[in-house]
Amino acid sequence: MKFSQLAIVLLFVFSFSKIAAQEFKLGKVSVAELQEKMHPKDTSAVAAVLYEKGDVSFLYVEGQGFISVLEVEARIKIYKKEGYDWANKNVVYYIGSNLSKESVLFSDVVTYNLVGGKVEKTKLKSDGIFDENLNKYRSQKKITMPNVKEGSVIEYKYLVRSPNIGSLKGWYFQTSIPVNYSEYVTKIPEYFVYNSKQKGFIYPKIDVEKNNKSIVLVSKERSNDRDNVSHTTFSHDKLDYLETKTTYIAQDLPAMKDEAYVNNINNYTSSIEQELSMTRYPNEAFKSFSTDWNSVVKTIYDNEDFGLELNRTGYFENDLKALLKGITAQDEIIKTIFDYVKSNVKWNEYYGYNCDKGVKKAYKEKTGNVADINLMLTAMLRYAGLTVNPVLVSTRSNGIAMFPNRTAFNYVIAAVETGTGIILLDASDKFATPNILPFRALNWMGRLIRKDGTSEEVDLMPKKQSFDNITMSYRVNPEGVVTGKARRQCTDYNAMLYRNNVENVKEDTYLEKLENENDKIEINEYNRTNEKELLLPTIETFTFTGSNLCEIIGEKIYINPMLFFANKQNPFKQENREYPIDYGFPSSDKYSITIQIPEGYAVESMPVPSAIAMEDNLGMFKFNAAVNENILQLVITHQINAAIIPADYYSMLQEYYKGMIAKENEKIILKRI
């Protein structure tokens, strides 16, 4: 599975056909809309957006320059009580610094009900509007609609004024309820060029027109005349400019439904985001921000919280010299520096590709955000003479970075170029090792930035299989008690998952859990190896006794050969699937099982060997069993060869698991002789 497949699916086609915006106006709620009992296309919908319009325009404010004004109006139908949440609306806005403070103003907030065949209007008064300060940077305005019942139609309008024209507020055409009509209009003066990125499976129709506009600038001049009487003269300068009006219209958008094993639902929701890519002020040189990956990268690199921080070395030079004394092998250098950063600077759980407190301070205080840590790591490795570059990443929670812009990324890691390929490093996670990144960073492609400002894509998804190898031998006695020992070895991502699982868990508690989750076996002689040796596979061994592991029915003993390791449930319960199945990494589970049967018993029947192969070599299940006197031997493997499997394969995958689970639960029958 290649990244390009998804990219193609998500690529959109601009269609410049002339479209007519539909006439919706606040206040014109029809009786038919109020009478509607359920959504005509989705009878289970709890509510629906009847129409929603967003309009972004630019306003010239004296002394401040251009600001953006977003005007939103919406009409929402509430079908069921479960949809009452749609009668609450909140808008978050930025209050960080005086210069860039935003404001939000709600108006025309009305609930409509049908009472005795007549339309009844209830207006929202000020007691239903709340302003809440979230933190230093953000506030939110909230409204809760009055008099909402099943069948109500609600309307509201709000205005967001923002001096932050670097990126406009995004517009989501689609949401978790059906949207009948969604219109988004941007009216952008010629001085600005925005780069828009669009996502989702449904593409709005787009219409572009150019209009002539003008601003009148008023300037004041005071002068004293000969009689020393002061005069104020006003001069009006008219500035003509061209405005590009773009209208996006999407209709009949189905509700978005989240599914299991989906990376991030927002990757698939129809939406548009706009980021400033260039300014073209009159009498000024063009200033470009992010029209392609190279300029995005340059902008990021030129930012002092990134490039400058990357070039600092003074703060660690002495420590590093001492640390690297006598170490010459590249692998050793990488390991030493990587471990040094991991153990000395702890991640404060903040993302970002820009440093928060700066590498120097982070180094001193021993904590920092992702950029503080990984840019420091990059600088140290460079200092040690390796070819190392930062790689910009978009975390799973941030969605997939598909279009060139600065906000596409929110995370940074380091990449060492070696003769045999690239080694990815993330020192913010304590269990990460070279080429084993924390799950949050495993998200399609990253972008590697070189010193000369060029950049290239780097595939973040693991190619190497992570192993989970289980060796188990046990004997069964005639009373049905099973005693045996097991050894489990995990590599790479499986080892990382294991380490996360056992971290901070007392051994006693861990064993209690292991016993209870595995048919109440009793575990003894438990041993764990390499828990802290991150480069080595984790190994646990234990002996066990279980009285619930087989069944004696009449003269016969029925055993599931895999005992508690058998998969019992198909993880893919849903009938259909829209989005790719994201395993995170390729894997291989292998069980080698030896069973000793009790004296006086013989095998009456046992599962026959079989194999299931997935299409296109995406995975493979093999089941082998053989009997030799009173010893049974089985080898079972289950292999997933890709980190991500496209949704087209869903039913194939379901069948695969169905077959595998049926096989894994077949019994060995022992009879008395």
Q: Are the C-beta atoms of residues 211 and 279 closer than 8 Å to each other?
A: no
Residues 6 or more apart whose CB falls under 8 angstroms from that of 150 comprise: 78, 79, 80, 81
Backbone phi, then psi, for 517, in 5-degree steps?
A: -85, -10
Q: Least distance in Å: CB of 520 to other proteins?
A: 6
**CA–CA separation, 539 vs 507, rounded Å?**
15
Q: Are the C-beta atoms of residues 163 and 97 closer than 8 Å to each other?
A: no
Q: Least distance in Å: CB of 193 to other proteins?
A: 38
* Residue with smaller CB distance to other proteins, 151 or 307: 151
Q: Least distance in Å: CB of 150 to other proteins?
A: 8
* Residue with smaller CB distance to other proteins, 46 or 386: 46
* Residue with smaller CB distance to other proteins, 11 or 105: 105
**Shortest CA distance to 71 belongs to which of 52, 58, 50, 56?**
56
Interface positions with other proteins (CB under 8 A): 44, 46, 80-82, 84, 87-88, 111, 122, 127-128, 130, 132-136, 142, 144, 146-150, 257, 346-349, 365-367, 503-504, 506, 508-509, 512, 515-517, 520, 548, 551, 553-554, 558, 568-570, 573-575, 605-607, 658, 661-662, 665-667, 669
The b-or-e profile of 284-323 (16+ CB within 10 A means b, else e) is eeeebbbeebebbbbbbbeeebbbebbebeebbeeebeeb
* Residue with smaller CB distance to other proteins, 411 or 467: 411
Q: State the Cα torsion 530-362-353-69 to the nearest 10°.
A: 140
Q: Least distance in Å: CB of 583 to other proteins?
A: 20
Q: Are the C-beta atoms of residues 108 and 53 closer than 8 Å to each other?
A: no
* Residue with smaller CB distance to other proteins, 418 or 574: 574
* Residue with smaller CB distance to other proteins, 424 or 563: 563
Spell out the alpha helix ranges (H) of 354-491: 359-365, 370-383
Q: Least distance in Å: CB of 327 to other proteins?
A: 24
SS3 655: helix
* Residue with smaller CB distance to other proteins, 36 or 655: 655
Q: Least distance in Å: CB of 606 to other proteins?
A: 8
Q: Which helix (H) or strand (E) holds 5?
A: helix 3-10
Q: Least distance in Å: CB of 307 to other proteins?
A: 25
Spell out the alpha helix ranges (H) of 103-166: none
* Residue with smaller CB distance to other proteins, 245 or 671: 671
- Give the other-Cβ count within 10 Å of 211's Cβ: 10
- Give the other-Cβ count within 10 Å of 282's Cβ: 8
Q: Are the C-beta atoms of residues 557 and 542 closer than 8 Å to each other?
A: no
Q: Least distance in Å: CB of 658 to other proteins?
A: 6
Q: Least distance in Å: CB of 368 to other proteins?
A: 9
* Residue with smaller CB distance to other proteins, 359 or 606: 606
